[in-house]
Structure 1
Amino acid sequence: MPDVLVLGATGTTGSRVLAGLRERGVKTRAATRKPVEPGQIRFDWTDRSSHADAVRDVRAVYLVAPIGVAEPLSLVEPFVADARTAGVRRVVLLSSSAVTEDTPGLGALQRLVRTEMPEWTVLRPSWFMQNFTGEHLVAQGVRAGEIVTATGDARVAFVDAADIAAVAVRALTDGEPHNTDHVVTGPETLSYAETAEIIARHTGRPVRHRTVTPDEFAERLRNDGLPAEYAAMLAALDEYIERGAEDRVTQTVERVTGTPARSFRTFVKEEIR
């Protein structure tokens, strides 16, 4: 019988949460839209019939909201109701440091798990270090030599997805429920210009940061194929950073896991070639 259902099990944090749980010997169920490996189960936010099999005999859920949906409550609320009916007691929600319960759209999910689940945790991580690798627009900018944002010279405490996952694993498995939100950051704040300088120094290739207006940034995102509402939300988050809201460091990773958070310079050294 699986103890924990991991939604988004092939994603940036979900895959790491899944691995961390299995390292601890926790029985897991990996949910994904397109299962291709043994142990994976089909899960589709828009197909409620897939929810019952996902939550059957599960004690806790790692919940990642549907990607690219600016107003996800109508999809997530029925799932949470199905989970409670099936006997799930604990939900750990991946949210964002920029989101509170009062934030339109994503904020409603924080209120939902707090009020509807007997045991809950909201993870509010800062921006991922992994955005600088893979296919993220920032990573594409790194490879092209120019990172474009609407953040100005404001600073962010970029955080490693592995550190987020480590906090999630504790929240899912600790005997006592956390019943709180955790703002999860890396150990220092950096501007995008500083991240570009660190990457350029490490790789020997030129990388710079160029700032644009939020409207210009939203247009870039739309041109990259994102829905207009979601592009506007992401541009607003850059504007939120530009106002200084992410210029903060917390000790959550070390306090919850006992291990210090990974630094951006270490991440670049080990992950960017």
Structure 2
Amino acid sequence: MTTMRKDKPILVLGGTGKTGRRVLSRLRQRGYEVRAASRKGAARFDWNDENTWEPVLDGVGAAYLVDSMQSDAGTSMSAFGKLAAARGVERLVLLSHRDWVVPEGEEKLPCERAVRESGAEWTLLKPAWFAQNFSEDPFFRGQLVDGEVVWSAGAGTEPFVDVEDIADVAVAALTEDGHGGQAYELSGPRLLSLDEVADEIARATGRVIAYRPVPPDDFTAYAARQGLPEDFTALLNTLFGWIGENRFATLGDGVQRALGREPRDFADYVRVTAATGIWHG
């Protein structure tokens, strides 16, 4: 049952991102007033400019949060979360991550702690790799157009999650009771290797697409030829390495718990996406 009042706007940070724009669309379809905030939008918001924070929170009843992805993201989220609660925001829904591995003594996911300690009702979304990265990220989509998925992920597996499911859970948490204090591990219904990913997309498109696993150093050289920034390449090597060692090769039950249904399968995502022709260049 929908319980969030419709006379209070819902704030969406990252409204042009993979999850944010889907959250915005769903909220609008349900008749909610939404406030999409970004550095260049009508509702200006910048994590690095605290003068932009209070105006976007004015009158807001709930907020969908995406952190700054900077080294001080936890500090910023803590200040913003407490300000939101003080301004009367009732619910905060944070797009987080599965638990990162960090050096001993460091906070694993400081933004999660910041939201939990904000004073508002909170929900954490902890998704696996987005299936939509293969179609909506230029680098990964480009690999498929070229017919070769080059990752330093070995034979590891990942339970790729459909972003549509993330958006459905986010909207439920923003607008319905029963999700407060929940940390939802969001994944697809099965584990897939990169070989299987390439095979499924190849079958759906009728094209030859192969997975070529490479060592991290070879991926670094490959990424440099593709024009990727060094820091992004280093991050990818870390994330690929975790896939290679099956660090997160487990299925989450967050979609089932939040929505009472099974998550969308990767094959469904591939079928729908292939029909658009996006992997043909």
Runs of 4+ in structure 1 deviating by more than 6 angstroms, as ranges, are 100-103
Unaligned runs of 5+ in 1: none
Counterpart of 2:258? 256
RMSD (CA atoms): 2.4
- Give the letter for the 1:81 counterpart: K
Deviation at 1:224, TM superposition (A): 3.4
Superposed CA offset, 1:223-270 (max 9, x none)? 634362x54333212211111122222232133113321111111111
Counterpart of 1:27? 33
Q: Which moved more, 1:73-82 or 1:164-173?
A: 73-82
Deviation at 1:4, TM superposition (A): 1.4
Counterpart of 2:74? 73
Alpha-carbon contact 1:100-1:110 (below 8 Å) kept: no
Alpha-carbon contact 2:63-2:91 (below 8 Å) kept: yes
The CA distance in 2 between the partners of 1:15 and 1:44, in whole Å, is 18
Counterpart of 1:96? 97
The CA distance in 2 between the partners of 1:149 and 1:70, in whole Å, is 26
Name the SS of the counterpart of 2:201 in structure 1: helix
The CA distance in 2 between the partners of 1:95 and 1:246, in whole Å, is 15
Name the SS of the counterpart of 1:129 in structure 2: coil
Residue among 211, 224, 227 paired with 1:224: 227
* Number of equivalent positions: 267
Closer, same or farther: CA 125–85 of 1 in aligned 2, 3 Å = same
The CA distance in 2 between the partners of 1:145 and 1:106, in whole Å, is 37
Deviation at 1:271, TM superposition (A): 0.7
The CA distance in 1 between the partners of 2:35 and 2:144, in whole Å, is 35
Name the SS of the counterpart of 1:9 in structure 2: coil
Unaligned runs of 5+ in 2: 1-6
Q: Which moved more, 1:231-240 or 1:126-135?
A: 231-240
The CA distance in 1 between the partners of 2:81 and 2:125, in whole Å, is 17
Name the SS of the counterpart of 1:31 in structure 2: strand
Q: Which moved more, 1:119-128 or 1:42-51?
A: 42-51
Deviation at 1:27, TM superposition (A): 2.2
The CA distance in 1 between the partners of 2:124 and 2:136, in whole Å, is 26
Is residue 102 of structure 2 the alignment partner of residue 109 of structure 1? no
Counterpart of 2:185? 183
Taking the TM superposition and a 5 Å limit, the aligned residue runs for 1:164-175 are 164-175=166-177
Counterpart of 1:158? 160
Is residue 44 of structure 2 the alignment partner of residue 50 of structure 1? no
The CA distance in 1 between the partners of 2:100 and 2:10, in whole Å, is 25
Among the aligned pairs, what percent are the same residue?
36
The CA distance in 1 between the partners of 2:237 and 2:95, in whole Å, is 20
Alpha-carbon contact 1:98-1:237 (below 8 Å) kept: no
Counterpart of 1:8? 14
Q: So what's the TM-score if we normalise by structure 2?
A: 0.86
The CA distance in 1 between the partners of 2:118 and 2:102, in whole Å, is 14
Alpha-carbon contact 1:146-1:208 (below 8 Å) kept: yes
The CA distance in 1 between the partners of 2:83 and 2:63, in whole Å, is 12
Q: So what's the TM-score if we normalise by structure 1?
A: 0.88
Q: Which moved more, 1:9-18 or 1:74-83?
A: 74-83
